[in-house]
Amino acid sequence: HRAKLTLDPAFEIAPVERRLFGSFVEHMGRSVYTGVYEPGHPRADEYGLRRDVLDLAREMGVTVVRYPGGNFVSNYDWEDGVGPADERPTRLDLAWRQIETNAFGLNEFMTWAAELPAEPMLAVNLGTRGVREACDLLEYANHPQGTRWSDLRIKHGRRDPYDVRLWCLGNEMDGPWQIGGKTAEEYGRLAAETAKAMRRVDPRVELVACGSSNSRMPTFASWEATVLEHCHEQVDYISLHAYYDPAAGDRASYLAAAEEMDAHIKAVVATADHVAAKLGSRRRLKLSFDEWNVWSQSLFGGEAGLEWAEAPRIIEEDYDVTAAAVVGSLLITLLNHADRVGIACQAQLANVIAPIRTEPGGPSWRQTIFHPFALTAAHARGRVLRVEAASPVFPTERFGEVPALVAAATHDDAGELTVFAVNRGERPLPLDVDLRGLPGLAVARHVTVADDDAGARNSLEAPNRVVPRTLEGAAVRGDRLSAVLPPVSFNVVRLA
Ligand code: AHR
């Protein structure tokens, strides 16, 4: 019962796209307030930004951050969040039934993103608003000066344009829960017209059209096809969202969640390319997997049951070692699709289904899922190689038999080879890697995220219960690397 990989530097998938290591900050629960932003906190800076959270996000290697939603954006007036703080209105956020003070808005977010530093990815409201407000926001953010909105930005203390490239044309517009939801026809037209107008304001923008809210939506794939028939030529990306639920179904299917992500990506690529063929277009859209994570969504009572509150504790998921292995397998799947997936954002960054947790006035800590993200962002360099894998299998209810091994490999210009591998099985998995065409390498380090207790978690009381550990024993003999992957584990084996 051994797993095998064959690697050859001649067989590449694509360069490692740094935008795959994105995250997401939504005005939701304690993601912003007492998450990234908490004036008066002992670690807050002059802008009220929590430096401890910034330090952790930097350590995670976050490259892109999507903002301000999520469902929140679909009834958000961005103008409420700019200008003198004491003049900003308090409003009802209908997405999460929250009281929104608007103390944090676009300029605070841009300051935060620059401090990280990470590339901003802004969403415009296409729920309750339209083409005009999207263009106003873009003018405020990117136009140099001398116009109503650019001069307002300057008046608000920011002279230079922000030059934001990435823009989401709404959020989950097919969702019945979305404020101002649309049919595919309505949204496709609106996305096309918004894109056309935004490119007139700034031709350098890169635009993301909303795909389905998840691959189990009844209109999945037909939504993408109809939307793209309207806006294929105007946009650059189509979005995918997916949450993998530990509380729904059997454990084996949960461990195999990457099968669903893989099939989801292939289905959206096929649909986008089908539309391109129909239109006679030579463009090949990229995918923006701009919300993905593990979330016990079946345990969430839904937004309608929430009470009006400011920064409430909602969906503050506690992640265990199994979740870290699943998140690792999802990162590996994204890497293996780097030829078509151009952006990915883990949802979210702080407190709300997040790798980083904080206490108001108190400390912050890394959840288990922080570690596979940080290790992959740090070590995935150069080009993604095709991995030819053979692995023992295990049975699942949802996907039938699936391989225990999920793996990706990257190879950089300095000659470093890194193998990312998840053992989804409940037994140790010996791994052999055929290193043909990669002579002279030796193991620099094998790091694992694993534990005798797959349910182990980090917490306020025990923030470092689960941390990456170095494993001894991996070695190269001749042109063969061998290593043993612990049960339910995420692994990084670096060779130099
Ligand atoms: O990330 C939480 C929510 O999940 C987002 O607001 C929404 O886009 C998705 O349904």
pLDDT for 299-333, tens place per residue? 998 888 899 999 999 999 999 999 999 999 999 99
How much is the mean pLDDT over the chain? 97
Q: Which residues pair with 343 in a beta bridge?
A: 288
Name 146's Cβ contacts closer than 8 Å, sequence gap at least 6. none
Is residue 291 among the annotated active site residues? yes
Q: Superfamily for 17-379?
A: Glycosidases (3.20.20.80)
Using an 8 Å Cβ cutoff, are 227 and 237 in contact?
no
Does pLDDT of 342 surpass 90?
yes
Q: Could you count the other beta carbons within 10 Å of the beta carbon of residue 314?
A: 20
147-190 pLDDT tens trace: 999 999 999 999 999 999 999 999 999 999 999 999 999 999 99
Does pLDDT of 142 surpass 90?
yes
Structure confidence at residue 1 (pLDDT): 86
Does pLDDT of 52 surpass 90?
yes
ipTM passes above 0.85: yes
Interatomic CA distance for residues 215 and 6, integer angstroms = 31
Residue 354 tokens read as 């997040």
What is the four-CA torsion angle of 339, 293, 49, 160, rounded to 10 degrees?
A: 30
Confidence grade of residue 388 (pLDDT, cut at 50, 70, 90): confident
% of residues, the chain, pLDDT over 90 = 98
Tell me the backbone φ, ψ of residue 338, rounded to 5 degrees: -65, -10
Residue 118 tokens read as 């990470």
Q: Which of 27, 71, 292 to mutate to test the pocket of ligand 1 (most atoms within 8 A of CB)?
A: 71
Q: How far is the CA of 237 from the centre of ligand 1 (A)?
A: 19
Residue 82 tokens read as 């700019």
For residue 239 and ligand 1, the question of a CB distance below 6 A is answered with: no
For residue 174 and ligand 1, the question of a CB distance below 6 A is answered with: no
Residue 267 tokens read as 């289905």
Is residue 172 among the annotated active site residues? yes
Q: Which residues pair with 329 in a beta bridge?
A: none
Give the residue-averaged pLDDT of 246-273.
98
pTM greater than 0.90: yes
Q: Which of 172, 288, 295, 316 to mutate to test the pocket of ligand 1 (most atoms within 8 A of CB)?
A: 172
For residue 70 and ligand 1, the question of a CB distance below 6 A is answered with: yes
Structure confidence at residue 254 (pLDDT): 98
Selecting among 38, 133, 172, 317, the annotated active-site residue is 172
Structure confidence at residue 2 (pLDDT): 96
Residue 495's nearest CA partner among 435, 437, 449 is 435
Does pLDDT of 426 surpass 90?
yes
Interatomic CA distance for residues 454 and 231, integer angstroms = 45
Q: Superfamily for 3-9+385-495?
A: Golgi alpha-mannosidase II (2.60.40.1180)
Q: What SS3 class is residue 488?
A: coil
114-141 pLDDT tens trace: 999 999 999 999 999 999 999 999 999 9
Structure confidence at residue 280 (pLDDT): 98
Does pLDDT of 27 surpass 90?
yes
Name all contacts of 472-475 with Cβ < 8 Å and 24+ positions apart.
Answer: 472/446, 473/446, 474/443, 474/446, 475/443
Question: Any alpha helices (H) in 156-306, and if so which ranges?
Answer: 184-201, 222-231, 251-255, 257-279
Nearest CA to ligand 1 atom 9: 70
Structure confidence at residue 427 (pLDDT): 97
Structure confidence at residue 304 (pLDDT): 81
Residue 244's nearest CA partner among 316, 326, 181, 174 is 326
For residue 252 and ligand 1, the question of a CB distance below 6 A is answered with: no
Residue 395 tokens read as 């049975």
Q: How far is the CA of 216 from the centre of ligand 1 (A)?
A: 15
| Spans of all domains in the chain | 3-9+385-495, 17-379
Among the atoms of ligand 1, which is closest to the Cα of residue 213? 10
